[in-house]
Structure 1
Amino acid sequence: MKRIITLCLAAFTLLLGGCATVIRSDVTAFNEWPADLPNKSYVFEHTAAHENDLEYRNYENLVRTELQRLGFVQADGGSPQLKVALNYGIAARDVHVVEPVVADPMWYGPYGPYGWGRPGFYSPFYDPFWYAPQVVGQREYNFQLFQRRLNIAITRAAGGQKLYDVTVTSEGKMNSLPAVMPYLVRSAFTDFPGKSGVPHQVELKVEDQK
């Protein structure tokens, strides 16, 4: 019995060790992206207040990295072809959960309900009802979930025609927007420009912060 429990605990530990935290985002992008756009020069479109907003500038850097990966070039001067704007936010909601409390048949005494180790031993592994949970009560708890949101729009500098407009939303217990933003930005440009108006979900593994 002790050996079986030890093996089960070891397997459970390995299972937990193999689980990775992911940021799961819902992404919807609308686009009228030209089939041929040889000039991908752009500038960020922001207000004067953003100039001295360190958080905003950090998120611009994240977007800049993704745009560079896709062949865009930030214009230092001259006449850029595109403008890029971003908006973001985070909101909390309270969650109340009521769930049943079940008793584990494995812990009905040191020998289990079928008399482990006694004469006339009956193996529970052949009994389909051995692991049937028994509801003994309920428990309630409260927590908060945070919805993180990012919107990025790319428009023509001349005329303001919108070419790409993507919204990324992600909900989880992590309340730090700066910690989640790199994954939201990467999700926004997954499969760029993609099919217009077709929602999809992106899962990205959270990288270890060392």
Structure 2
Amino acid sequence: MKRPRFLAALGVLGLLGGSLTACATGFQADVSRFQAQLPAPQGQSFAIVADDASLAGGIEFGQYADLVSQELSQLGYVRGNPETADLIVRFDYEVDNGRERVRSTSSSFRDPFYDPWYRYRPFRSRGYWGYGFYDPWFHDNDVRSYTVYTSEIEVDIDNRVTGERLFEGTASAVSPSNRLQYLVPNLVDAMFTDFPGNSGETVRISIKPEER
């Protein structure tokens, strides 16, 4: 993605609250949206293109792009083609390689993944200093390690004729799943909840659980 800033921010802040039951109860997506003179839907045509050229023409990209298209069509926009559409919708998605986190039943131990107000601070484990990461060889009765993944979609809308940027949006989440087939549809749903939203505002949207 061209702008990984939100992914980095989520990695530092650990924005997901809850416990390991997140696997069964879903997770939270943080949606940030900015707009400048985005026209109200009155039949304007749009075309979805891959912001990452390596995704263009892919079957998987096409499946996720159809989800964005369905959302825009329900709002009142009309699907067109990139050569003549009023609006060009640039779409991208990504999930990282995951990071190890720690869960403890001890009230004295604070896990940055599950405490949204926690800031990374050094801690010492078996003689080594680290920042929020767990020594996988260390075991304790009330400490367990696990992997979490940060995912993000990005939707940008431009005026095809003038090239003016009309809308920018990101939907990001930290979760125990790295399955794009589960993550992307839910992030798209979060992105278009109360679309286009208030410019400059970040909102938290609940995501449904992954089916097992």
What range describes the TM-score normalised by the shorter chain of this pair? 0.5 to 0.7
The match for 1:198 is: 201
Identity score, percent? 25
CA offsets 1:150-199 (integer angstroms, 9 cap, x no match): 10011100121111111001111012111121110011111111110011
Whichever residue aligns with residue 165 of structure 1, its letter is: E
* Correspondence 1:83 to 2:52: no
4+ residue runs over 2 A deviation: 20-23, 33-39, 45-52, 76-79, 96-101, 204-209
| CA drift at 1:99 | 3.4
1:189 to 177, 180, 192: 192
| Matched-pair contact (CA < 8 Å) for 1:24–1:170 | yes
2:71 to 58, 66, 75: 66
Structure 1 alignment gaps of length 5 or more:
1-19, 102-136
Structure 1 pair 83/64, CA: closer, same or farther in 2 (3 Å)?
same
| Matched-pair contact (CA < 8 Å) for 1:145–1:172 | yes
Whichever residue aligns with residue 87 of structure 1, its letter is: D
Matches of 1:186 and 1:163, distance apart in 2: 20
Looking at CA atoms only, which structure, 1 or 2, has the larger radius of gyration? 1
| Matched-pair contact (CA < 8 Å) for 2:171–2:190 | yes
Instruction: Output the TM-score relative to the length of structure 2.
Output: 0.65
| CA drift at 1:25 | 0.4
| Matched-pair contact (CA < 8 Å) for 2:71–2:192 | yes
Secondary structure at the aligned position of 1:68 is classed as: helix
Structure 1 pair 31/38, CA: closer, same or farther in 2 (3 Å)?
same
Structure 1 pair 96/56, CA: closer, same or farther in 2 (3 Å)?
same
| CA drift at 1:37 | 5.7
Matches of 2:43 and 2:80, distance apart in 1: 11
1:162 to 158, 161, 165: 165
Aligned pair count reads 156
The match for 1:118 is: none
* Correspondence 1:41 to 2:40: no
| CA drift at 1:75 | 1.1
| Matched-pair contact (CA < 8 Å) for 2:82–2:88 | no
CA offsets 1:69-120 (integer angstroms, 9 cap, x no match): 111111158721100111111111111234339xxxxxxxxxxxxxxxxxxx
Matches of 1:77 and 1:94, distance apart in 2: 42
* Correspondence 1:96 to 2:107: no
1:146 to 139, 149, 161: 149
Secondary structure at the aligned position of 2:178 is classed as: coil
Instruction: Output the TM-score relative to the length of structure 1.
Output: 0.65
The match for 1:175 is: 178
Give the root-mean-square deviation of aligned CA atoms.
2.6
Structure 1 pair 155/77, CA: closer, same or farther in 2 (3 Å)?
closer
2:36 to 1, 20, 32: 32
| Matched-pair contact (CA < 8 Å) for 1:23–1:183 | no
| Matched-pair contact (CA < 8 Å) for 1:81–1:156 | yes
